[in-house]
Amino acid sequence: MDHPILKVSSVSRHVQGRAILDNFDLTIAPGECIGLVGPNGAGKTTLLRVLANLLAGTGGTVQLADRLLDQWSRRDIASQMAVVPQSGANSDFRFSCAEVVRMGRYPHRGRWQSESARDREIADEAMEDTRTTAFAMRPITELSGGERQRVALARALAQTPRILLLDEPTASLDLSHQLQVLQLVRNLVRTKGMTVVVALHDLGLASRFCSRLVLMRQGRVVADGSPVEVLTPERLAEVYQVTALVEPDHELGGLLIRVLDACP
């Protein structure tokens, strides 16, 4: 593996005595597209928030590139890493979508530096890539959940990060936009060498668009590897308590997963 861009070492996170992350280890190389999968409560969202330095672990360390994450300033972290939360782009103020996306340029400007033509150009390109240009002038408060999710992705891309952290980016989207978003993410990995860590519930989409999956349960890693290695019928029974058939999807790539029944 290349020198890691992110490294999680023995990280724990406890809430009211319960381990949300339990002595968690993960090493991420530049240019990887890693899918975090597992049932509700597995710790996927908490892990993403710890990676982004939005939550502190109660033990262990996170390293970004060549130094510990807590040695980076918040602005410098934002210049390296962008986060798209489940809630999408939310605001109590009637900012236009274009204004929200241009906020992603903040880490790249000096404290008193005004927005440049290049900032606007990068933001416009991010909106084109996410197909949000059509509602650029609409207030963010008037958008649907799925539209806000796409605007949040555009704002993240406007940060021009090396690392993109996505928490259920397809949850509020219709089928067409689910595919568009994941195709865009895969293209960013292939053409720009971006590193992506994405939490997904849909195992079929995860197997199709992620080269590596980390299967989580109760804050721990159950399996880490290629989709074929991770999503076996035995592991689906162990982690999801379902009986399932798993076979290659020769037409689209990834895996076809048919859930037959709940395990007794």
Q: What does the pLDDT average to over 177-196?
A: 91
Give me Rg for the CA atoms of the chain: 19
Q: What does the pLDDT average to over 222-245?
A: 96
3-state secondary structure of 27: strand
Tens of pLDDT along 56-88?
888 899 999 989 999 999 999 999 999 998 866
Per-residue model confidence (pLDDT) at position 149: 87
DSSP-derived pairing of the beta strands 18-28 and 242-248: unpaired
Q: Is the model more confident about 225 or about 173?
A: 225
Distance CA 158, CA 115 (A): 13
pLDDT at 1 over 60: no
> What percent of the chain shows pLDDT beyond 90?
70
Tens of pLDDT along 86-103?
866 666 678 999 999 999
Torsion of CA 38, 150, 194, 110, to 10 degrees: -120
Residue 76: CB partners within 8 Å, gap ≥ 6?
Answer: 107
3-state secondary structure of 148: helix
- Nearest one of 250, 216, 219, 218 to 231, comparing CA atoms: 216
Residues 195, 31 contacting (CB under 8 angstroms): yes
Q: 6-262, what's its fold? A: Rossmann fold (3.40.50)
Assign 7 a pLDDT band (cuts: 50, 70, 90): very high
CA–centroid distance for 118 within its chain: 26
For the chain, domain boundaries: 6-262
Tens of pLDDT along 112-126?
678 889 999 999 999
pLDDT at 198 over 70: yes
Residues 111, 192 contacting (CB under 8 angstroms): no
Per-residue model confidence (pLDDT) at position 144: 85
Give kind and range of the element (H or E) at residue 35: strand 33-37
Per-residue model confidence (pLDDT) at position 236: 96
pTM of the model: 0.92
For the beta carbon of residue 50, count every other beta carbon within 10 angstroms: 23
